[in-house]
Amino acid sequence: MVNDWTTEQSSMAHAQTGEELGQVLETDLSQGLSDAEAEARLGRFGENALSKKQKETVWDLIWEQIHQPLVYILIVAGVVTVFLKEYIDASVIFAVVVVNVIIGFVQEYKAMNTLESLSKSMATFTTVIRAGKKHRVDSKHITLGDLIFLQQGDKVPADIRLISTKELQTKEATLTGESLPVDKTTEPLPEDCVLADRRNMVYASTYITSGQATGIVTAIGDQTEVGRISELIQEVERVETPLAKKIGQITKLLLVLILGLAGVTFTVGLLQGQSWKEMFMVAVALSVAAIPEGLPAAVTAMLAIGVNRMARRNAIIRKLPVVETLGSATIICSDKTGTLTEGLMTVREIAVHGLELEVTGSAYDPNGEFLHQGESFSPKDHQGLWMNLHAGLLCNDSSLEKKGGIQVVQGNPTEGALLVTALKAGLSMDEITALYPRIDSIPFDSKKKYMVSLHHGENGSKTLFVKGAAEHILALCDRCLLADGSHHPLEIQRWQEKIDAMAQKGLRILAMAHFEIGERDFSLDHNTLPRLTFSGLQGIIDPPRKEAVSAINSCHEAGIRVKMITGDHAITAKAIAMEMGILTDHNEQVIEGKEIDGLSEEALTEISEHTHVFARVTPEQKLRIVRALQSRSEIVAMTGDGVNDAPALKQADIGTAMGITGTEVSKEASDMVLADDNFSSIKAAVEEGRGVYDNLTKFIVWTLPTNVGEGLVIMLAIIMGLSLPILPIQILWVNMSTALLYGLMLAFEPKEPSIMQRPPRKPDKPFFAPNFYVKMGIVSGMLVLSAYNLFNWELEAGRTVEQARTVAVTVFVLIEGAYVFNCRSFKHSLWEIGFFSNKLLLFGWLLMLVCQLAFVYVPFMNIAFQSASIPLASWGRILASAFLTYLLVEIEKWVERRLF
């Protein structure tokens, strides 16, 4: 009975009759529950609401910025420098940590607020029948076994088994992916009937588009299909981003290098007779000096710049590392409805006697034309076509209205498409409805599959207009209307062949017919319908977005495979996939959800790699497909807007939700939200992601050799028993100032022209190419040699040790300044990419020169950093060292181009 009702039983409600269900749930099918019983069940089963997921707090966002390997290294370094009483060094290091946290926090907090502003959630109300009376109650106050009354415009509040319907249609795209309104019935269905085909059930979060119904609540809150999906989301663990993995590898490399240098220094010092305490302090100082303090802040800043660029291209990034992950994507799995397609029904083809036409235009825009073999055709030139369009306009219960300058449909989207097509032909809704006022009608019947309307005509005559499923309309007709207005016997076989051909294109086909009654009295009824005159077919589809077709092309050129994963029918999915270039061969297989259920994980992994279209899939199956692709080391971007997409969105490396049509559940599960719901924005985001990765790589390849060089300078000084050519506080100056004014400016490096013509990076490919170590050897070597040689040159020339160290610091700054121009491109020379193509870098370079002049010549800087003024001749030697370094790296690049 009701107290023993289980989730398994609710999932089988479609297989029971209404009477059987009423007995089990102890519900009177005419009176509903009593008020007292409803109150008791509310207390027993709880409110009809999903368990709330704890949202991220400000402290959660702050912790995410701190919880990074490089930041941990900086914090440890800062603590150690405090114990060493190097308070200036410590304050600089902690300042870097704070700046890094602030930049990351601000960007992610902005993204969080942007998503909240996109939220459209509000309290919903439901009509419930209790003790034989209808009440409007808050949806969260309905309970198991409640009798619910539904009508057009209602949002379904729970999972409900229908017991009576009147021309009921629902919109289920957010749950099943079905793009068209779904006709509902009350007949029991087989137990193994898949969710998308359960015509006697309506589910929480879907909408009633037309008709009325009464049904029994079979599941509430977390027990609904939406609730089950919500639980599935919670079970999914976030995958580590490629950037996090690469930064982890870099951190390990840094730790090995720094600890290696420190260990060698400590050991050599002990062998030379130095005290272990003194050598420990030196080793710690070396470690602190070798840490790239600017790296975490620069990485965060570069990602933040990428976030802003993407926002300008309608992609709202929720987590900074996702920026780079987009550039790594190898596969994009996209939902169909509303993402690849417009999400709006449009008449694409019309077939009348002796004529087949293409209808141009999209959405509900009345601008468009009729084409016959590519040439414009006037609908008035064919009486069959003209009557067909009249039937679509008059035998119609929907309307068009403008909202915010955009035309929208009030009522059934399919009927809206017929109205728009009539407008494209030049028909005026107001004039035609006034000329043919409606007398009576028979609403669309899910069993008869047609609608009839009776209208007054000219001179007191009456006309019947009929529209509906093609096979059913053909059965009512015995003749066809020709272009000149004459009649011809109906050739059913020829029209059936045409229907089949249009269906293969994924079109939903509606047929139109009419009958001139004249002035006689006529009582409209199914049984009084005469044999009708067939006027033709209209083929309707949710058309592909034009910009999405171009974007898919670009993805293919970039080596990114695009797969369609939809809850829609296989024929429709295949037709759209062919048109968009996702499929290129009619013989390519489309895998349906029922086939996936029988596959092992190994078999699904193999099939998912080579299949491009998956149709009629459930949320669990979408999740399995994404995991199968990830098991082959693919970086998967997943797009979707429905509740059914959320688990796969969370599992994917880049989950992408729709900002306009997307449900709050899908947005919450995503990493990125498309403000314009457009697939082309994903392509733009991938392009930006690749640019960010390129510039991050350039920054890291630029910064690491300098840190290695700094560590080597200190280590060699200890090993050889020499004075330090550069002090730890001076190293901090070099690291922080150059990272900001040289390195960070690489974030503004323009994307290379071929960025979307190259294949995606392999996930297991090492971050550093072999030639990086050659560059590191050249630059680190030049830094060490130049610093020591010029340091000793200055001392031998009678300069003070402060002046000699100032020269060493300045040679570090200018060699890094020369090397940053090498790093603008790893293949092309500075002149090939354009010297002035990154003006911010030139500005940063000049500003760094001004700061270094201040370091050398401004008294308070001399005191703070123990620097001193140097003569002009020293600048000549410094510039020569910097130019030589630039030249050597360019020669290395030239050799690499010739060899590879």
Give CA torsion, residues 10, 13, 18, 22, to 10 deg: -20
* Residue 522 and residue 440 in contact, taking contact as beta carbons nearer than 8 Å: no
**DSSP states of 593-613 as a string?**
HHHHTT--HHHHHHHHHH--E
* Residue 161 and residue 218 in contact, taking contact as beta carbons nearer than 8 Å: yes
Q: Which residues pair with 332 in a beta bridge?
A: 562, 637
HSE (CB half, 13 Å, CA atoms) of 590? 26
Give the count of beta carbons closer than 10 Å to the beta carbon of residue 303: 23
* DSSP run (H or E) holding 92: helix 87-118
- Report the alpha-carbon distance of residue 868 to residue 866 in Å, rounded: 7
* DSSP run (H or E) holding 548: helix 546-557
3-state helix/strand/coil string of 312-333? HCCEEECCCCHHHHHHHCCEEE
Active site residue 192: no
Give CA torsion, residues 417, 419, 420, 421, to 10 deg: 90
Buried b (16+ CB within 10 A) or exposed e, 365-390: ebebebeeeeeebebeebbbbbbbbb
Give CA torsion, residues 630, 634, 635, 640, to 10 deg: -60
| DSSP tally for the chain: helices H, then strands E | 32, 28
Q: Which tokens sit at 552?
A: 């898919």
Give the residue carrying structure tokens 């979707």: 640
Out of 335, 542, 645, 677, the active site residue is: 335
**DSSP states of 328-368 as a string?**
H--EEEE-IIIIIB-SS-EEEEEEETTEEEEE---TT----
* DSSP run (H or E) holding 707: helix 679-719
Q: What are phi and psi of 242, to 5 degrees?
A: -55, -40
Alpha-helical (H) ranges within 272-317 are 276-290, 294-312
Closest to 44 in 3D by CA, of 17, 5, 80: 5
HSE (CB half, 13 Å, CA atoms) of 402? 5
Q: State the catalytic residues.
A: 335
